[in-house]
Amino acid sequence: MTIGCDTLVSAQTMYDFNPNFGLDASFRPAAGTPAATAVAAKGVACSWTNQTSGDKVTIAVARPGSDALAKLKAAAAGGGSAVSGIGESAYFAPNGGTGRLDVFTGTYWLVATSVFFASAADFSNGADAKNLVGAAVSQLR
């Protein structure tokens, strides 16, 4: 994919989420993470770091092919709670203090992870996390 991190999530969008986050231009996802899976599928992974706490927001996106997309969607649906209003379908799951949201729209899979995503309620209407991820989804064409 050729979308840049600053296009996927604009500086203003991240500022609106939390003005203390900065893009980590040197980010490389760790093996076995959802972001690494996206990169392996010829996608892109972006991470922003909270300048005070060091906590991260990671958003990755890929177009993994129909079979892989179906497997990712089945896994997300089987292990998460449905979230409405983001993409065609979305599922939230907590994992060891980090929340994970998998979003499916068209041929795209977007995955967002952060300690700032504590529950599916963080993706309800008007919530900052929903606005952040929704802005990223809107860039997928």
Which domains does the chain show, CATH number per domain?
Answer: 5-138 (3.40.1000)
Residue that has been written with the tokens 């991190």 in this structure:
5
Q: Band of the pLDDT at 124, cuts 50, 70, 90? A: confident
Q: What are all long-range contacts of 69-78, with beta carbons under 8 Å and residues at least 24 apart?
A: 69/104, 69/107, 69/109, 72/102, 72/104, 72/109, 73/102, 73/104, 73/109, 76/102, 76/104
CA contacts within 13 A on the Cβ side of 25 = 2
Distance of CA 5 to the CA centre of its chain: 12
Q: Which two tokens stand for residue 6?
A: 């600053």
Distance of CA 130 to the CA centre of its chain: 10
Whole-number pLDDT of residue 71 = 97
Q: Band of the pLDDT at 15, cuts 50, 70, 90? A: very high
pTM for the structure as a whole: 0.95
Whole-number pLDDT of residue 136 = 97
The yes-or-no verdict on residue 1 having pLDDT over 80 is no
- Section 128-140 average pLDDT: 95
Q: Band of the pLDDT at 129, cuts 50, 70, 90? A: very high
Give the C-alpha distances (Å, rounded to integers) separating 14 from 86, 99, 110: 17, 18, 17
Instruction: Report pLDDT digits (tens) over 76-112.
Output: 999 999 999 999 999 999 988 899 999 999 999 999 9
Are 113 and 137 contacting, i.e. CB atoms less than 8 angstroms apart?
no
Sign of CA dihedral 84, 86, 88, 94: negative
